[in-house]
């Protein structure tokens, strides 16, 4: 019987404590599988869209704001990723994109043919008994 080899692991991060826990789990998995890790940070476009009024010539365009913000995150992540890669002895790279986090994670995972997504999650009060949460607990 042939076993499935995990080669590419996507680790979405929002830099929270839960993301750090998922990162640690992904590092252990990547070491065992000799897999490559990609950290993905999604800048939620809902929080960074601005309304430009009639004086829009006075303000940078939304595209410029998004582009500058993403460039800043990419620069910050490049150094961090190099340090993490050396520290843990695995290949790590990073992607920064703007959009809806859930949609972007799915799109990137599909587009770049990741074998596995490792991410942290937290429960929402009142949803403990929902079918979806129970299914996640089983997985």
Residue 110 lies in a domain: yes
Residue 133 lies in a domain: yes
Give the CATH number for residue 104. Answer: 3.40.50.620
Residue 97 lies in a domain: yes
pLDDT of residue 26: 96
pLDDT of residue 133: 45
Please, what is the end-to-end C-alpha distance for the chain in angstroms? 23
Residue 41 lies in a domain: yes
- What is the domain count for the chain? 1
Q: What is the pLDDT of residues 9-32, one digit of tens each?
A: 999 998 888 889 999 999 999 999
Per-residue pLDDT tens, the chain, 139 aa: give them: 667 899 999 999 988 888 899 999 999 999 999 999 999 999 887 765 544 444 455 555 556 656 777 888 888 888 899 999 999 999 999 999 988 888 999 999 999 999 999 998 765 455 444 444 444 444 3
The pTM for the full model equals 0.76
pLDDT of residue 77: 87
Residue 2 lies in a domain: no
Residue 22 lies in a domain: yes
pLDDT of residue 134: 42
Residue 3 lies in a domain: no
The answer to whether the CB of 9 falls within 8 A of the CB of 116 is yes
Report the residue count for the chain. 139
Range of the domain at 92: 8-138
Residue 13 lies in a domain: yes
pLDDT of residue 50: 46
């Amino acid at each position: 019987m042939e076993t499935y080899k995990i080669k590419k692991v996507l680790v979405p991060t929002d830099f929270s404590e839960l993301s750090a826990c998922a990162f640690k789990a992904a590092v252990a998995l990547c070491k065992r599988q000799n897999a490559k890790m990609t950290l993905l940070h999604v800048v939620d476009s809902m929080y960074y869209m601005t309304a430009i009024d009639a004086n829009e010539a006075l303000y940078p365009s939304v595209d410029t704001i998004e582009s500058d913000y993403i460039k800043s995150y990419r620069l910050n992540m490049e150094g961090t990723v190099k340090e993490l890669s050396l520290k843990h002895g695995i290949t790590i790279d990073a992607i920064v994109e703007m959009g809806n986090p859930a949609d972007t994670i799915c799109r990137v995972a599909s587009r770049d043919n990741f074998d596995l997504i490792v991410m942290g999650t937290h429960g929402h009060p009142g949803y403990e008994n929902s079918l979806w949460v129970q299914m996640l607990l089983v997985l």
